[in-house]
Structures are given as structure tokens and as C-alpha cells.
Amino acid sequence: MAQPDYEILTALRNQYAGERCVIIGNGPSLNQTDLELLKTELTFAVNGIFYARDRMGFDPTFYVVEDNAFMRDNLKEIQSYEAKSKLFPSVYRSQVGEGVGHIYFTMNRGFYEQRSPNFCIPRFATDVTHQVYSGQSVTYMNLQLAYHMGFTEVILVGMDFSYLVPDSAHVSGDQIVSTEDDPNHFHPAYFGAGRVWKKPKLDRVLASYSLAKSVFEADGRRIINATEGGALEVFERADFETLFG
């Protein structure tokens, strides 16, 4: 098994204590969000955010990918994307390779494994040195990473929390293959024709987010949703322009 970067992860513990960060989702609302306002913020970006590279005008502080299908289908883009630090599950170490700012962590997939006693039961790592728990969303991993790093306020943008499976898509179990433009993300090619993605299972995502909210609030921290519209209501809402304008 590929080894995680224990020493680097340990050094990141509480490095940003008392600060705020922004986790950038990839929902359609990102097209109504002035991302340039985030250029001075500490940011987490994920997956296909490289489609917004030119519009953002800056490289994120952290870039994270969890999903194996996305990793497989976008490996070159993931390898070439610029960020201060790029954090990946250690199972991808041989695929992505080493690089400046690359950090690998242990991903616990018990949430997805039917044989696991924690199947569909969210767990939250307040210290990610030894493992980060999956929870049906890469954002959930980012929330654990942000907590580990000490951030006391996490602001979410681009988290629309709604998905449409087009009638034209080919569905086999939890796997979906698109045959047309992607209606669920900010760019039509994100999971466009020929791309493979997985059923979002938003009820499971919501269970994970609810646990994250409880953990943050128990320690006097908070998670704020500054998405333009969308259907994610578990976190308190705030206006994006008021926060960053």
C-alpha cells in the first residue's frame, strides 16, 4: 500500500488556526459567482475546477481529488493543474506521481464498503494524519482537511446540491455514462458526452455534512454556505458579495 505523507500532514495540523478558508464547489452557480474576489483567500478547489482556470485568474491554495473515475479520466489535467498544494488519497500516488506541493493522505473508504460496519455511517477525522474518511462527497474530505489545518470558519461556494440525470444517460447500477453536455456543473464538458460519473446519493451526502456541522460547532467553529441559490440548507447562509465584495 502506498504510504501517506505523515510528516507533512502532521506539520499542517493547526497551521491556519483562527483563519477562514473557502471551499469552491463545481455547481452551475459558479457561473454566477465572481471568483476573482477569492484571489486573496485561502481556497480549496476540487476535481474539474481546471475548466475555470482562466476565469478565476488565480491558483487555489489546495486542490483535492477523491473519485477514482474522475482521476482515471482526467489524469493529465490533474497532474498539470497548478495549486500551492495538491492533496490526494495515497492510493493514487503511483498514478499522479511526486511533485512540488503534492501531499498524500490515507483514505478510509468504509463509508462505501457494504462489508464495513461503518457502511453509510459518516465519521469525521479531526486529525487527518492517519486517515481521512470518505462520505459521498469530496467536499466532506475537504472539511476534514480544513478542520485539521485549524480553520475556524469555512465558507462554501458553488455547492448547488442538486443533480439531474438526463434521460439520455446510460445508467448501470451506481455508474452513469453521459451522452450529452453536463447540466450539473459549471462547464458542459465536466461530465459531458462519454464521461463516467456516479449517482450523487444526496441523502448520504447530507448525513455527512450534518456530522461535519456538528463537529465544527462543538469546537466553536462554523461552516457557512455562500452559494448563489442552490438547495443546500444544512449550513447557515450568507451572501457572497457581502463576504467578499
Q: Read off the pLDDT of residues 133-145 as tens digits, 9 standing for 90 and up.
A: 999 999 999 999 9
What percent of the chain stands above pLDDT 70?
A: 100
CA 134 to chain centre: 11
Mean per-residue pLDDT, 113-117: 96
Bridge partners (DSSP) of residue 141 are none
Sheet holding 20-24, edge to edge: 102-105, 85-89, 62-64, 43-46, 20-24, 153-157, 222-225, 236-237
Residues in the chain: 245
d(CA 27, CA 168): 21
6-160+203-244: which CATH topology? sialyltransferase cstii, chain A (3.90.1480)
**pLDDT single digits (tens) 33-73:** 999 999 999 999 999 999 999 889 999 999 999 999 999 99
Average pLDDT in the chain: 95
- Residue 1 scores a pLDDT above 70: no
The residue that leads in pLDDT, 198 or 91, is: 91
d(CA 183, CA 163): 8
Q: State the pLDDT at residue 113.
A: 96
What is the reported pTM?
0.95
d(CA 10, CA 130): 9
Q: State the pLDDT at residue 199.
A: 84
The b-or-e profile of 188-212 (16+ CB within 10 A means b, else e) is eebbeeebbbeebebebbbbbbebb
Sign of CA dihedral 28, 138, 151, 51: negative
Mean per-residue pLDDT, 99-120: 96
Mean per-residue pLDDT, 6-31: 97
**pLDDT single digits (tens) 161-217:** 998 888 898 989 888 999 999 898 999 889 888 888 888 899 999 999 999 999 999
Alpha helix (H) residue ranges in 13-59: 53-56
d(CA 154, CA 152): 7
Q: State the pLDDT at residue 164.
A: 84
Domain coordinates of the chain in residue numbers?
6-160+203-244, 164-199
